[in-house]
Amino acid sequence: MPVLNISTYKFVTLDDRDGLRAQMQARCDALDLKGTILLAPEGINIFLAGDAAAVRTFMGWLHQDMRFADIKAKESWSESVPFKKMRVRLKKEIITMKVTDIRPEEHRAATVSPSRLKSWLDRGRDEAGREIVMIDTRNAFEVETGSFVNAVDFGIERFSQYPDAIAAQRHALEGKTVVTFCTGGIRCEKAVLYMNRLGMQNVYQLDGGILKYFEEIGGAHWSGNCTVFDDRSALDPGLVPVQEPLPHR
């Protein structure tokens, strides 16, 4: 498939967002890229698609800014560009949780790699013998498309409902190893820090999210597909677009 799709993010203080917005819009337009870039005081969130050489040229340009030098993108391929336009938008948060003092830039929550998670799920226990509980932090319509087998989800309609939902369940999760997951990892950066604030222990985020798990592991312990927020609608565990109804936004 000829079109390269990338997604990536970074929590980093941005105090020059107006200038960045203009520069990024101009660079993407010049490279004929389509997608969305979100810029907030807390960081950047990127979804882009286009010719592979053009996408890699953009990433090379982005890496020249030391704030973004370590950004790595998750990749997938499609027959056509799944975005209709290119937008660089200013937002209050790159993922809206409405808990303003949770700052992943200052301290990143503990992670578990896709390969280590698979080994835990194969056994049903971590190395210390604790039961594994998977928690889906995504919205209900995304969970309907697919999720990890036996994962817990709270039926939330927006991420700002997650803090109350997890707080109500924290005691039931004591003594277990909890792994949160979402599409690309960005929600879990905040979710696990909030869970740590509640005093929850042995809590991890799936590093790179579902898409990284698909890239490295495939569909082991997964059921269904994964919703993505572009015209592809959903990807199967091989990162191939599938025919699904477009999700409600």
- Mind telling me the catalytic residues? 182
Q: Taking Cα atoms as reference points, which of 72, 89, 105, 109 lies closest to residue 201?
A: 109
**CA 20 to CA 14: how far, in whole Å?**
9
- CB proximity list for 236: less than 8 A, separation 6 or greater: 219, 225, 226, 242
Sheet holding 234-235, edge to edge: 226-227, 234-235, 241-242
Question: SS3 of 180, please?
Answer: strand
Question: SS3 of 126, please?
Answer: coil
Inter-residue contact 154 to 138 (CB < 8 Å): no
**CA 117 to CA 42: how far, in whole Å?**
28
How many other CB atoms sit within 10 Å of the CB of residue 53?
Answer: 10
